[in-house]
Structure 1
Amino acid sequence: MTGTAWPIIIFFVAHWYLSLFSQTFFLHRYSAHAMFKMNKFWEKFFFIFLYLTQGSSYLVPRAYGALHRMHHAYSDTEKDPHSPLYSRNAFVMMWKTKDIYNAVLRREAQVEDKFNKNLPEWAFIDNIGDMWISRIIWGTLYVLFYIYFVPADMWYLYLLLPIHFLMGPVHGAIVNWFGHKLGYQNFDNKDASRNTLALDVLLGGELFQNNHHMYGSRPNFAMKWFEFDPTYPVIKVLHYVRIIRLVNPDAKA
Structure 2
Amino acid sequence: MIILIFFVVHWYLSLFVQTFYLHRYAAHKMFTMNPFWEKFFFFFTYVCQGSSFLSPRAYAILHRMHHAFSDTAKDPHSPHYYTNAFSMMWQTKNIYNDVLRHRVKPEERFDGNYPEWNALESFGDTYWSRVSWGLFYIAFYVMFVPADMWYLYLLLPFHFLMGPIHGAIVNWSGHKYGYQNFDNNDKSKNSLFFDFLTGGELFQNNHHKLPNRVNFGVRWWEVDPTYPVIWTLDKLGIIKMKKARA
Please report the TM-score for the alignment, with normalisation by the length of structure 2: 0.98
The alignment partner of 2:147 has SS state of coil
Task: Give how far 1:120 is off.
Answer: 1.1
Structure 2, unpaired ranges of 5+: none
Instruction: Find the counterpart in structure 2 of residue 157 from structure 1.
Output: 152
Write out aligned runs for 1:49-198 (5 A): 49-198=44-193
The CA distance in 2 between the partners of 1:13 and 1:252, in whole Å, is 34
Instruction: Find the counterpart in structure 2 of residue 239 from structure 1.
Output: 234
CA RMSD of aligned residues (A): 0.9
The CA distance in 2 between the partners of 1:64 and 1:141, in whole Å, is 25
Amino acid at match of 1:85: H
The CA distance in 2 between the partners of 1:246 and 1:157, in whole Å, is 41
1:202 matched to 2:204: no
Task: Give how far 1:24 is off.
Answer: 0.2
Deviations 1:88-142 (A, max 9, x none): 1000011000000000001112310110121111012101111111000000000
Amino acid at match of 1:77: T
The CA distance in 2 between the partners of 1:128 and 1:161, in whole Å, is 22
Write out aligned runs for 1:21-36 (5 A): 21-36=16-31
Write out aligned runs for 1:12-23 (5 A): 12-23=7-18
Deviations 1:133-164 (A, max 9, x none): 10000000000111111111111111110000
Deviations 1:24-72 (A, max 9, x none): 0000000000000000000000011001100000000000000000000
Amino acid at match of 1:173: A
The CA distance in 1 between the partners of 2:127 and 2:116, in whole Å, is 19
Please report the TM-score for the alignment, with normalisation by the length of structure 1: 0.96
The alignment partner of 2:72 has SS state of coil
Structure 1, unpaired ranges of 5+: 1-5
Identity in percent: 65
Runs of 4+ in 1 over 4 A off after TM superposition: none
Amino acid at match of 2:76: P
Amino acid at match of 1:168: G
Question: How many residues are aligned here?
Answer: 246
The CA distance in 1 between the partners of 2:174 and 2:154, in whole Å, is 25
The CA distance in 1 between the partners of 2:44 and 2:84, in whole Å, is 32
The alignment partner of 1:65 has SS state of helix
